[in-house]
Amino acid sequence: MKSYKKIFVISDLHAPYSHPDSLDFLYKVKKKYSPDCVVNIGDELDFSASSYHESSTELYNPSKELEEGKRILKKLEKIFPSMHLLHSNHGSMAFRKANTAGIAKNLLKPYHEMLEVSKKWTWHDTLTLPTPLGNVYFVHQQSSNVLQVCAAVSMNVVQGHYHTKSCIHYISSPEKLMWAMNVGCLLDKNHLAFKYSRVIVKRPILSCAVVTMGIPKLIPMVLKRNGRWDGKIHL
């Protein structure tokens, strides 16, 4: 099996409510690191209007929200024609809703058809990829304590979902050194879609990540005072 030298990890975009500079940021990170594999950690779409929770009447209706989200994903596809994506609580909302309604999964369009992207975008519940320093286990979310996931699967771990966490932890045993990483998000915290979180003291951390030769690296999206990206890749 191929061992991946540079794996690019895209964090929770929540399109169409992603940060307005998120695609430009991802494009520049790609140019700098030239990854040989791309993993989208999930929540590529927000699906607020189709959520199990109440949605603001001032947001898009479900149809408009999907169309706007697809427009962003088509731009993302131009940057990353081939991509692994993780099933997630927001991104896989259509399948979750179908399951609630008792609709068989094989009655739905495959996700790449639903989103009008190519078959080079593939979805997974979990994903394990080999690197020169061991396997890396990717999942959208399994525990707020990512080290517990690492210990459970006995592999290096990358997960998303927890917007206020962008961090790397290491754990060692007599046999090996392992790491566990949360990758943050790329959403627009000021958007009405995230009004529910404005009373929370912790703020979302905008970042993505690269796993180079098996070593994890977080890449922060540094913002100016006006909330826009400063245009630089700082690592």
Q: pLDDT, tens digit, for every residue of 194-214? A: 665 565 667 899 999 999 999
Higher per-residue confidence, 122 vs 62 = 122
Q: What angle do CA 128, 203, 22 make, to 5 degrees?
A: 60
Calculate the average pLDDT of the chain.
90
Res. 21 pLDDT band, cuts 50 70 90: very high
The whole-number pLDDT of residue 152 equals 94
Q: Where are the domains of the chain?
A: 6-220
| pLDDT tens by residue, 81-134 | 999 999 998 777 677 776 777 877 777 888 889 899 999 999 999 999 999 999
Residue 8, pLDDT above cutoff 80: yes
pLDDT of 191 strictly over 80: no
Determine the average pLDDT of the residues in 1-20. Answer: 94
191 or 190: which leads in pLDDT: 190
Describe the crossing of helices 62-79 and 22-33 by its angle, rounded to 10 degrees.
20
pLDDT score, position 44: 94
User: Cα–Cα distances in Å, from 94 out to 1, 15, 39, 125, 153?
Assistant: 33, 15, 21, 15, 28
Class of residue 68 by CB neighbours under 10 A (exposed 0-12, middle 13-18, buried 19+) = middle
CATH number of 6-220: 3.60.21.10
Give residue-wise pLDDT tens across range 37-56: 999 999 999 877 666 566 66
Q: CA-CA distance, 113 to 117, in Å (whole number)?
A: 6
Instruction: For residue 87, give both structure tokens.
Output: 């099933």
**What pLDDT shows up at residue 104?**
79
Q: What is the SS3 assignment for 36?
A: coil
